[in-house]
């Protein structure tokens, strides 16, 4: 079947469409392949919540879990074996996309979120996951915590592709871009003949969670209701402005001359949480060249059905600044918003990881 026109136009505008979901059933049923063929999907992101739902809702994992139970492997080893298997199969399915595009066809796998505040352990696990999946179109998810930043540098320097997750503020986003450039520079410093071939990075800037938190605070402050639902898009637009600045700098041009490619902004958390808002707003209003938008399947289908391009990001920087200033003037402490969102984001991933661990443990015990 021909590709959906709305999503095809989105791709032509420079937005790489990634699916924010993965399961063994999705791979085996042909669903993921159909999304690639018909909905312009060129990448996949995963997280512990996605795998917890997949494993608990399907019997497709039974044979593998039984074999692992018979071998008496640890819960942690079983968890990594099962998730790596799905990611490896998805990488294989998307390998033709990777060959065609050179940049996409990527599948994300996250380091254990409990390591978010441990630099060396995060870098070590990133290297282990890269070895375990053993596919060039894998991309390792590392959180943008203070401890995560040097892990990003180390991992990029090792030639491993990185999806930096849980970015909420412009300040932290700039630090993430700096960590990426530092990783490329470190790779060259260690070996002036080193290649950047295959090294890809995206910076996952979260959107809808920003609106959820700021809307709550605007209500508490009795602020102008017209400010609600504006912060997520405005904040992301200013992030793209920062991206353009960094990746046109002399520092970047020196790396680009050696073959490096920019770290693309990725719009994450794009499923709309407030039913009063357009269900495609975090796609329509964030269309810009060299970006990635990772969507839940519900949001993907919504845009396929009735999505329309909104205001171009690059023409809306001044308005975005005014929105964020108005929100601050209304009494919202933006620094505190971003601090809370990062802390809650890490904790949500830890809770999901614990849920995933519990689900695998329970099934291992059942399969003995």
Give the pLDDT of residue 48.
86
Lowest mean pLDDT among 196-205, 285-294, 340-349: 340-349
**Residue 342's pLDDT band (cuts 50, 70, 90):** very high
Give the pLDDT of residue 367.
65
DSSP class of residue 229 equals T
* β pairing state of 162-167 and 201-206: parallel
Give the pLDDT of residue 363.
76
Give the pLDDT of residue 349.
81
CA-based end-to-end distance of the chain: 44
Architecture of domain 5-367: Alpha-Beta Barrel (3.20)
Averaged pLDDT of the chain: 94
Give the pLDDT of residue 260.
97
Tell me the two tokens of residue 190. Answer: 């260690």
Answer yes or no: 141 catalytic. yes
Q: Which of 12, 72, 141, 273 is catalytic?
A: 141
**Residue 352's pLDDT band (cuts 50, 70, 90):** confident
What percentage of the chain's residues is helix, strand, coil (to nearest 5)? Answer: 60, 10, 30
Domain boundaries, the chain: 5-367
What's the whole-model pTM score?
Answer: 0.95
Give the pLDDT of residue 53.
87
CA 187/CA 199 separation, integer angstroms:
11
CA 105/CA 25 separation, integer angstroms:
19
Identify the three-state secondary structure at position 196.
Answer: coil
Average pLDDT of span 242-267:
98
Tell me the two tokens of residue 133. Answer: 């999946």
CA 54/CA 62 separation, integer angstroms:
12
Give the pLDDT of residue 90.
98
Lowest mean pLDDT among 97-106, 159-168, 206-215, 344-353: 344-353
pLDDT in tens, 171-218: 999 999 999 999 999 999 999 999 999 999 999 999 999 999 999 999
Give the pLDDT of residue 362.
79
CB 212 within 8 A of CB 344: no
Tell me the two tokens of residue 138. Answer: 């894998």
Q: What angle do CA 172, 173, 177 make, to 5 degrees?
A: 120
């Amino acid at each position: 079947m021909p590709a959906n026109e709305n999503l095809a136009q989105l791709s032509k505008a420079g937005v790489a469409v990634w699916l924010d979901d993965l399961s063994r059933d999705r791979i085996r049923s042909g669903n993921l392949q159909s999304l690639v063929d018909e909905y312009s999907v060129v990448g996949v992101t995963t997280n512990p919540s996605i795998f917890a739902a997949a494993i608990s809702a399907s019997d497709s994992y039974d044979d593998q879990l039984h074999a692992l139970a018979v071998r008496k492997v640890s819960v942690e080893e079983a968890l990594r074996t099962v998730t790596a298997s799905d990611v490896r199969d998805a990488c294989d399915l998307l390998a033709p996309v990777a060959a065609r595009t050179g940049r996409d066809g990527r599948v994300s796998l996250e380091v254990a979120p409990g390591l978010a505040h441990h630099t060396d352990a995060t870098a070590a696990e990133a290297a282990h996951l890269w070895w375990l999946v053993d596919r060039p179109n894998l991309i390792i998810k590392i959180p943008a915590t203070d401890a995560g930043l040097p892990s990003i540098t180390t991992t990029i320097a090792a030639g491993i592709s990185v999806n930096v997750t849980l970015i909420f503020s412009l300040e932290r986003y700039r630090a993430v871009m700096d960590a990426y450039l530092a990783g490329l520079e470190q790779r060259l410093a260690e070996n002036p003949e080193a290649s950047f071939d295959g090294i890809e990075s995206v910076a996952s800037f979260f959107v809808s969670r920003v609106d959820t938190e700021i809307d709550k605070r605007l209500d508490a402050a009795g602020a102008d209701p017209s400010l609600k639902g504006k912060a997520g898009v405005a904040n992301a637009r200013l992030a793209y402005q920062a991206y353009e600045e960094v990746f046109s700098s002399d520092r970047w041009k020196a790396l680009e001359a050696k073959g490096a490619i920019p770290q693309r902004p990725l719009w994450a958390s794009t499923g709309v949480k407030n039913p009063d808002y357009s269900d495609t707003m975090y796609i329509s209003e964030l269309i810009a060249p060299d970006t990635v938008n990772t969507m839940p399947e519900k949001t993907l289908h919504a845009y396929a059905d009735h999505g329309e391009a909104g205001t171009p990001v690059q023409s809306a920087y001044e308005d975005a600044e005014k929105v964020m200033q108005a929100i601050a003037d209304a009494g919202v402490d933006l620094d505190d918003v971003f601090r809370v969102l990062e802390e809650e984001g890490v904790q949500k991933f830890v809770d999901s990881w614990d849920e995933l661990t519990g689900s695998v443990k329970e099934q291992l015990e059942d399969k003995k």
